Amino acid sequence: GQQLNQSPQSMFIQEGEDVSMNCTSSSIFNTWLWYKQDPGEGPVLLIALYKAGELTSNGRLTAQFGITRKDSFLNISASIPSDVGIYFCAGHYFGNEKLTFGTGTRLTIIP
Amino acid sequence: DTEVTQTPKHLVMGMTNKKSLKCEQHMGHRAMYWYKQKAKKPPELMFVYSYEKLSINESVPSRFSPECPNSSLLNLHLHALQPEDSALYLCASSPWGVGGKETQYFGPGTRLLVL
């Protein structure tokens, strides 16, 4: 099935650095969701966005719903070791029964 | 509380076995989902139940059989699986049902190994 283009594919950063990742689509969405997944666990919902231009924070995480409705961004400030994992974006179009997932961004923190 | 529970956490089965995966949510969510996830890939949708009725089957082989006994429970019955079916199986639920604002909450998953 269709997947969203998510970048970067992987990131290697030092603790304390800020992180930015994004998701782009060729079609518009009404909802953008951001998830974090630890190995062997299910994805955990971090932030849900429902309005173009919306900027929402959850602690050190901030996500934005792009004005064009075709993209979304996730920023993590002052990264800590527990931020390690895979981050997935997911888009949803009203009336559709499915989410479209991004390809994932793997975040690794270098000691 | 946004908890979706899944049992078992791990499952090893032979190709001739019959087993079932269970999922439960007590949040009054109207839609429930089964996904399959391979390593380093996003979840792949298998089935969607909306108001306890099967609304989507993503051309999943018949060796996977979903069941929704009531609005809180979702089962996935497994029979005659193949080694390539080994994966993490995720259950999810959504409060809005299909067609509304979508917010899906995932369970912890069942790690399945088919020998």
Range B85-108 average pLDDT:
86
Mean pLDDT to the nearest integer, A59-74:
97
pLDDT value at residue A111? 82
Mean of all residue pLDDT scores within chain B: 93
Q: Does B43 touch chain A (CB under 8 A)?
A: yes
In chain B, how many H helices and how many E strands?
A: 0, 11
pLDDT category at B96 given cuts 50, 70, 90 is: confident
Does the distance separating the beta carbons of A3 and B48 come in below 8 Å? no
Each residue's pLDDT tens digit, B39-50: 999 999 999 999
Measure B19 CA to nearest chain A CA, in Å.
20
Cα–Cα distance measured from residue B41 to residue B63, given in angstroms and rounded to the nearest whole number: 22
Can you tell me which residue has the tokens 């369970």?
A: B107
Q: Is A43 on the interface with B (CB under 8 A)?
A: yes
Distances in whole angstroms, Cα of residue B89 to Cα of each of B30, B56, B109 = 20, 17, 5
Nearest Cα to Cα of residue A49 among A68, A22, A29, A24: A29
Stretch B64-91: mean pLDDT, rounded? 97
Angstroms from A51 CA to nearest CA on chain B:
11
What pLDDT is recorded for position A96?
Answer: 80
In Å, how far is B104's CA from the nearest CA of chain A? 8
